[in-house]
Amino acid sequence: MKQNPIVGCMRWGIWGENFNTKQYETIIDQCLSIGLDTFDHADIYGHYTTEANFGEALKNNHALRSKIRIITKCGINMLTPNRPTHEIKSYDTSASHIRKSVEESLMNFHTDYIDTLLIHRPDILMNPEEIAFILNNLKKEGKVKTFGVSNFTTSQVNLLTKCIPIEHHQVEISLTNIAAFENGVLDQCYSEKIEAQSWSPLGSGIFTEKTEQNLRILFTAEELSTKYNATVNQILLAFLYLHPAGIIPVIGTTKFERIKEAKEAMDIELNREDFYKLLAASTGHEVA
């Protein structure tokens, strides 16, 4: 079953458009007007500033919080002047770090709960029992509603689920990166009823880097866009929407028109042959 795309906020702050509070309010309202209510963040976005920028829009409109769902991530220690104690980029999934990150996100968003918390990257020093302990406490306190991971392997998910259920997995999935179709990630999401979220769903550099793969994909997508009376972007998303794991794309744009375009891609029903035409464009060969 197809689900509405998630609205990615990484480029809304200083890593992109640098929206002011009024612009945050406007684009949030626009998304809600077309039924999109889930917004994707991470503590590190905008060098640890974008959560708070988004939160100013919530601070000014208390009724808005109950209308939206907030996803945020933690676990990366980024090198930035905003975190002067960090000596090197590293990962930290200790209970104390997760607790501190959640409390800071709650302050940033001017809220008392996070709808979904994701561990941003797998930590070599990850202790599943420690993560389960702190997440269970945060859930009991009502500060985190659901829990998931991002960019994990199937074995890492298996390790963690021995101690705590994984409800979401956000990973790169697109026609330029089809690894999740082949490495068991999507199989696992389907079989374990883990919500599959795709970051960079249109493909990394597909419109800016003229690689042979990108040119093949775009040529095929352009042909299909005529057939389905759709845009190229919509064809790239329709490819993901067809998968039975129910992939939810995270649309990381600052333009409402492109967010709306992504939702409308849900109406496209690619046939199987056209799915495999796009897959062949990605790999450079037909299936065996």
Between CA 242 and CA 266 the distance in angstroms is 9
CA 258 – CA 60 distance, rounded (Å): 26
Give the chain's mean pLDDT.
Answer: 97
Q: What one-character DSSP code corresponds to residue 283? A: H
243, 186 in Cβ contact below 8 A?
yes
Q: What is the pLDDT of residue 61?
A: 87
Query: What's the rounded Cα separation, in Å, for the pair 22 and 179?
Result: 39
d(CA 130, CA 88): 23
Task: Kindly list the distances between the CA atom of residue 282 and the CA atoms of 110, 215, 230, in Å, as whole numbers in the listed order.
Answer: 43, 9, 20
Active site (annotated) includes residue 241? no
pLDDT per position as a tens digit, 101-127 = 999 999 999 999 999 999 999 999 999
Q: What is the pLDDT, as a whole number, of residue 60?
A: 80
Q: Across residues 214-224, what is the average pLDDT?
A: 98
Band of pLDDT at residue 11, cut at 50, 70 and 90: very high
> What is the spatial distance between Cα 122 and Cα 93, in angstroms, rounded to a whole number?
8
> Which DSSP symbol is given to 17?
T
| 10-17 mean pLDDT | 98
Q: Which domains does the chain have, with CATH numbers?
A: 6-166 (3.20.20.100)
pLDDT single digits (tens) 252-279: 999 999 999 999 999 999 999 999 999 9
Q: What residues have CB less than 8 Å from 285, skipping those under 6 apart?
A: none
Q: Give the model confidence (pLDDT) of 75-87 as tens digits.
A: 999 999 999 999 9
> Whole-angstrom Cα distance, residue 240 to residue 177?
11
Which one of the listed residues 24, 45, 228, 241 is annotated catalytic? 45
Task: Give per-residue burial for 120-141: e unless 16+ CB within 10 Å, then b.
Answer: bebbeebebebbbebbeebbee
pLDDT confidence of residue 225:
98
